[in-house]
Structure 1
Amino acid sequence: MDVTSWYFILILLVLTHQGVPKNYQTFDYEYYYPEADDPPVFTARPQTFTVEVGQSVIIPCDYNNPGVNKLIIKKFPAGGGSEKLLSVGAQRVTPDQRVTITGSRLTISHTRPRDAGTFLCHFDLEPPVQLRHTLDVQYAPSVRGLVPPEQHVARGSSVTLECEAHGNPEPILRWSRQGGKLPSGHHTAQGVRLTLEKVDRWAEGTYLCTADNGIGDPASAAMTVTVEYPPEVTAEKATMRTGEGDQLELMCIVHGRPPPDVVWTHDGTPLPDTMMDTQLHRPSHDTATTYTHTLLAHRHSLSISPVTENDFGTYVCIAENAHGQTTAMIQVTGLPERPKVTSSPNGGESTRYTLTWQTQTYFPITDFIIKYRKAHLDLWQGNGSLVMAGTWANVSKKVEGEARLGGPPRAMAHTLNNLEVATDYVAIVRVRNRYGWSAESQHFHFSTKKAMAVLQSTSGERSGAAVTWLLLLLFLLLSGVLT
């Protein structure tokens, strides 16, 4: 043992016997012989927290045996990006006032979608001690169209509507149409795109792309489809019957995109301009006729007041836009309507038949004509030969004292005499008023009373061939072929 060691032992012995001065601080024995601290251990387990936007969430970093180490909490954004330091020990580092630190727990109030991500509880040791939590923030969807809100497309072509949505969970996209079904006939279709094939004007409308994920209310984006096409024109009535002094309104229904310009002509002469509610005055005898062109939705009307004989004729509604021109024709006349026969086709008399008909007229009927003839082969000639249907017979008669009618159709009648027994006939009727003759009625088939034919034919003497014909006719009548 060297001199230095002995000297140190001697000093210790002296101090032991004399005591320690009062102002001298003793050292703890462990200060000179420290033992290594055990590393902290997290008592919380890794978790995934799911909250709706606006709610609060607690991120637990509970641990034991902390020693002198400080807990560090970091965040890694869900969408990627650099990590963010939130707290060191009990000290909050982030400037976000929604974040608070209580012991080893981090609380986020009024969560937002950007709060989602991975939270790391960390002790900076070697090796590091770590605990990871995941935060999933759910929020209601938002949606936007990826095409212009108004789509103009030519008739016959196709158009595709598209939208995108954001939300958590991932929203489901459905397409619908305001006020009706989709052109496919379905109420909805699913997907980010909706394609309309070979569109026509019935495909026009507002289409909705709706996103729904079960959080909050669904969100919708609206897109309007406008189909451009040439004018389509139809006359509400192709023939209008009127009389002098009346008021008349002609109507045509016009569709087209862009909205067509509409003009009217009378016997080839233009009437008012295409402006709505325009008027044209044309003198006629002692009165002045006013033409008024009005528009209500797709209905273009031309009012004539008062009507004169000069106003009869052909009116044409002409509609034109950038895609073409279309017309509709309306005939204005004072002639009576085509008669309609109303009598029964089965006559109740042997040699007579009363024909009844009705017609619409604004002026008295002055005349009528009835044409009639046999309708089929005549089997009852004296020599038993077959004869073709007979020639037309005419009945013409003037009508006296008829009053003008402008409401329900006029009913008329006339009895045809000297007809053959049990015979089929066909008749045509025409009527006339001060402006001329109506069109012919449709061919009307009738017959005289057929039971008499059986009685007459069985009372006479006929040859074997005639009897055969009689039996054949009776069979046909009983079977309903000739009735």
Structure 2
Amino acid sequence: MDVNLCFSLLTLLILAPQEAVGEATTEPQTHLHLSTANFRLGEEHASGLSKTYLNYDYDYYYQEPGVEPPTFMARPQTFTVEVGQSVIIPCDVENPSGRNKLIIKKQPASGGSEKLLSVGSDKVTPDPRIDIKGSRLTISHTRPRDAGTFLCQFDLEPPVQLRHTLDVQFAPTVRALVPPEQHVAKGNSVTLECKANGNPEPNIRWSHQEGRLPSGYHTSQGPRLTLENVDRRAEGTYLCTADNGIGEPASAAMSITVEYPPEVVAEKTIVRTGEDDNVELVCIVHGRPAPEVVWTRDGQSLPDSIMDTKLHQPRTHTAHDAHMTQNHVAHRHILSIKPVTEKDFGSYVCIAENDHGKESAVIQMTGLPKPPVITSSPNGGESDSYTFTMETESYYPITEFIIKYRKTHPGAWHRNYTVMAGKWRSFSKIVGNEVVQHGTRHSLAYRLENLEVATDYMAMLRVRNKYGWSSESDRFSFFTKKAMAVLQSTSGTGCRETAWAFLLLLLLALSLTAM
């Protein structure tokens, strides 16, 4: 016999047990309407026992004359719970008399077909988290898939329905939509993107683990982050963080590696040293891929060093260059010279090269003295002379100096109404014991004479050791004593008044002495 037909007959017997099949009755008849009947057998295992249940997917209704149709006591509600919590869906009924059975169904929030959960007191769904007690449905340990619309209904004509909505909130998850590591050439643009899932809809923010974003801001909002015209400052790990206030925020990490040609800066462009000294010439090198660094002196390549600058492995070197070694720590590339000889003086170049280009920096290693620094006060305190004091650094004794000076304003106005400075004059002197030496620091003093009274001057100095002259010092302004100019500028017509004043002072002094 057909299975569907068997269950149809079984349903007729369950729903109308008082009536005998084929027997006439004078009582008011109950009309049964069946449509889209579809029954399936299923099996549920609990506590080691097995029971058979019916999974219903049909519509039916009773019409009983003289019986008040049932009504729902509750109003439509929206229930919001966090994942893992329990919730009760109320389908409380007023006028529950009659043979009409309460049906509870669910329409998933994500779409899909309607599901029958219970008919009367019989639970149809096999989900063990769902419990039916009277007209109330309880869901324990809610999950995101439990969200949706729950229908409490009686299949009457017209239907009696009550709709409840369940919103299940859950902590966010996030995943990257781009590779976890990207290599980008300098000057290009790159976009990072991630996708977040959660309820409520999570907010997405971007941050840079190494500090601020290249834009200068600490964070940026939105599912995408675009970095334009990138340079090495854009390198690092970027975090896409999703947060909706439920549970803990979730993050996905993406890293950016920027490839760019070498960037080279000399730590000191001029290194002053002397024989038997130990020096280090240092270049700061950046680049991606890591550049290969070589050194030259006066245009000639230096032999291999004792340390490979890429692999950090020892290398052999020739004996005659044993006092020169190369190594690097992080981005500092160092050429060590121990001890310095006179032939080591010259122009050194560190050259860095990778797949994107080549760059270099020049370091002058010299025995010349450092340009002197004038330490005397601009106000010399002398009427027609000025005493210079100066300091310089040199690994060798200072043997000579030159003072170049001129008047700042000659005091003459020219046709174009501009004041012209005086001509440069120079004075040189060979020195010896008058130079005071403390290590590599040298100081001396010299009095420049035959200057004009109350006059502004400008001067520059150079010093010399056995390897040659230093560069010029910074320009230094000074002036002769200006108070003397007032006395000397007294005119001939004023001499008489000055003499009378002097005589009066003398008489006053004598009278005081006689008393």
* TM-score (normalizing by structure 2): 0.74
Could you tell me which residue of structure 2 aligns to residue 291 of structure 1?
325
Could you tell me which residue of structure 2 aligns to residue 377 of structure 1?
410
State the one-letter code of the partner of 2:88: I
Give the 3 Å change call, closer, same or farther, for CA 359–279 of structure 1 in structure 2.
Answer: farther
Of residues 367, 372, 375, the one that matches 1:334 is 367
Could you tell me which residue of structure 2 aligns to residue 195 of structure 1?
226
Give the 3 Å change call, closer, same or farther, for CA 160–171 of structure 1 in structure 2.
Answer: same
Give yes or no for contact 1:278–1:294 (8 Å, CA) kept in 2: no
Could you tell me which residue of structure 1 aligns to residue 467 of structure 2?
435
Give the 3 Å change call, closer, same or farther, for CA 253–388 of structure 1 in structure 2.
Answer: closer
Of residues 175, 188, 195, the one that matches 1:157 is 188
Give the 3 Å change call, closer, same or farther, for CA 393–109 of structure 1 in structure 2.
Answer: closer
Whole-angstrom CA distance in 1 between matches of 2:492 and 2:420: 21
Whole-angstrom CA distance in 2 between matches of 1:191 and 1:388: 66
State the one-letter code of the partner of 2:106: K
Could you tell me which residue of structure 2 aligns to residue 451 of structure 1?
483
Any idea what the Cα deviations from partners look like across 1:340-399, whole Å, max 9, x if unmatched?
1121222211232211111111222233233344454376xxxxxx99835634222131
Whole-angstrom CA distance in 1 between matches of 2:436 and 2:374: 21
**Number of positions where the alignment pairs a residue of Structure 1 with one of Structure 2:** 425
**Unaligned 5+ runs, structure 2:** 1-23, 31-63, 413-418, 494-515
Shift of 1:240: 0.9
State the one-letter code of the partner of 1:389: G
Could you tell me which residue of structure 2 aligns to residue 51 of structure 1?
81
Give yes or no for contact 2:309–2:328 (8 Å, CA) kept in 1: no
Could you tell me which residue of structure 2 aligns to residue 354 of structure 1?
387
Whole-angstrom CA distance in 2 between matches of 1:253 and 1:324: 16
State the one-letter code of the partner of 1:239: I
User: Within 5 Å, which residues of 2 pair with 1:15-26?
Assistant: none
Give yes or no for contact 2:435–2:444 (8 Å, CA) kept in 1: no
Whole-angstrom CA distance in 2 between matches of 1:126 and 1:449: 120
Any idea what the Cα deviations from partners look like across 1:433-454, whole Å, max 9, x if unmatched?
2322222223333332233334
Give the 3 Å change call, closer, same or farther, for CA 391–55 of structure 1 in structure 2.
Answer: closer
User: Within 5 Å, which residues of 2 pair with 1:37-186?
Assistant: 37=64, 38=67, 39-63=69-93, 64-186=95-217
Give yes or no for contact 2:380–2:481 (8 Å, CA) kept in 1: yes
**Unaligned 5+ runs, structure 1:** 1-29, 380-385, 462-483
Give yes or no for contact 1:138–1:168 (8 Å, CA) kept in 2: yes
Whole-angstrom CA distance in 2 between matches of 1:269 and 1:121: 93
State the one-letter code of the partner of 1:212: D
Question: SS at the partner of 1:310?
Answer: helix
Of residues 321, 324, 329, the one that matches 2:357 is 324
Give yes or no for contact 2:398–2:442 (8 Å, CA) kept in 1: no
Of residues 195, 202, 212, the one that matches 2:243 is 212
Question: SS at the partner of 1:442?
Answer: coil
Could you tell me which residue of structure 2 aligns to residue 415 of structure 1?
447
Shift of 1:109: 0.6
Give yes or no for contact 1:351–1:448 (8 Å, CA) kept in 2: yes
Question: SS at the partner of 2:107?
Answer: strand
Q: Does 1:303 align with 2:336?
A: yes
CA RMSD of aligned residues (A): 3.1
Of residues 220, 237, 258, the one that matches 1:227 is 258
Give yes or no for contact 1:181–1:187 (8 Å, CA) kept in 2: yes
Give yes or no for contact 2:188–2:229 (8 Å, CA) kept in 1: yes
Which stretch has the larger CA shift, 428-437 or 131-140? 428-437
Could you tell me which residue of structure 2 aligns to residue 469 of structure 1?
none
Shift of 1:152: 2.7
Whole-angstrom CA distance in 2 between matches of 1:208 and 1:293: 36
* TM-score (normalizing by structure 1): 0.79
Shift of 1:59: 1.7
State the one-letter code of the partner of 2:372: P
Question: SS at the partner of 1:458?
Answer: coil
Give yes or no for contact 2:435–2:443 (8 Å, CA) kept in 1: no
Give yes or no for contact 1:363–1:405 (8 Å, CA) kept in 2: no
State the one-letter code of the partner of 1:44: A
Shift of 1:174: 2.2
Which stretch has the larger CA shift, 63-72 or 328-337? 63-72
Whole-angstrom CA distance in 2 between matches of 1:449 and 1:401: 26
State the one-letter code of the partner of 1:410: H
